Chains A and B, each alone.
Chain A
């Protein structure tokens, strides 16, 4: 079946630095990828929709200058958390559309210290 890979699975960074998370569709092309964040025991919160070759569409309340999304190819989207702060610590999950179904990556745990 379709597989979406995320990397890194876990990252710890210092406050003020930037962190990049990669999302790859391994056996299908994804013109659209979605980025979510999830706090413990809470539901998925959509952050942005990433479209290949164009600017991402951000959900209300999500700072586009802080969460930079690049979807440069049909198999890769990246999320960069810029000038990270402890409150950005969360579980970040990407997903990619394969046909009429959406497949999720394994998620990336970000801890900002």
Chain B
């Protein structure tokens, strides 16, 4: 089993739809959870950052972490064509200099 599993998509939705992106993981030591958005030919941009379990909301974006189920989600409300990108989940146990563990990314297309 891979450490982080993420459905690669592609996912295509109409403008205005609610989008749900998900990742599962196997390492119970992970405590820090991030979502990055990567536009084509650009570096990943940090979108959401959460620590431990719970929800975090920022505008149209909501990140959820369920550590008991080892499952994280990113919800995008009122999706826009500009949200079309690849979304990467990433996580860390927060120790020392260890790199993030990434999911493979989900390609999202929001159709106008």
Is B13's CB within 8 Å of the partner chain A?
no
Residues in A with CB closer than 8 Å to B42 are: 106-107
By the criterion CB–CB under 8 Å, are B41 and A105 in contact? Answer: no
By the criterion CB–CB under 8 Å, are A51 and B36 in contact? Answer: no
Count of CB-CB pairs between chains A and B under 8 Å: 53
By the criterion CB–CB under 8 Å, are A107 and B51 in contact? Answer: no
Which of A12-20, A80-88, A95-103 has 4 or more CB atoms under 8 Å from chain B? A95-103
Q: What 0/1 pattern do residues 92 to 112 of B give for CB contact below 8 A with A? A: 101001011011110100000
By the criterion CB–CB under 8 Å, are B94 and A107 in contact? Answer: no
By the criterion CB–CB under 8 Å, are A31 and B44 in contact? Answer: no
Nearest B residue to A97 by beta-carbon distance? B97
Residues in A with CB closer than 8 Å to B71 are: none
By the criterion CB–CB under 8 Å, are B36 and A104 in contact? Answer: yes
Q: What 0/1 pattern do residues 23 to 57 of B give for CB contact below 8 A with A? A: 00000000010101000011111100101000000
Q: How many residues of B contact A (CB 8 A)?
A: 23
Residues in B with CB closer than 8 Å to A51 are: 97
Is A44's CB within 8 Å of the partner chain B?
yes
Selected contact of B43 from candidates A31, A41, A101, A104, CB within 8 Å: A104
A interface residues with partner B (beta carbon < 8 Å): 1, 6, 31-32, 34, 41, 43-44, 46, 49, 51, 91, 93, 95, 97, 100-107, 109
Could you write out 23 A-B pairs with CB less than 8 Å apart?
Answer: A31-B97, A32-B97, A34-B100, A43-B103, A43-B104, A43-B105, A49-B97, A49-B99, A100-B49, A100-B51, A100-B94, A101-B32, A102-B46, A102-B92, A102-B99, A103-B46, A104-B36, A104-B44, A104-B45, A104-B46, A107-B41, A107-B42, A107-B43
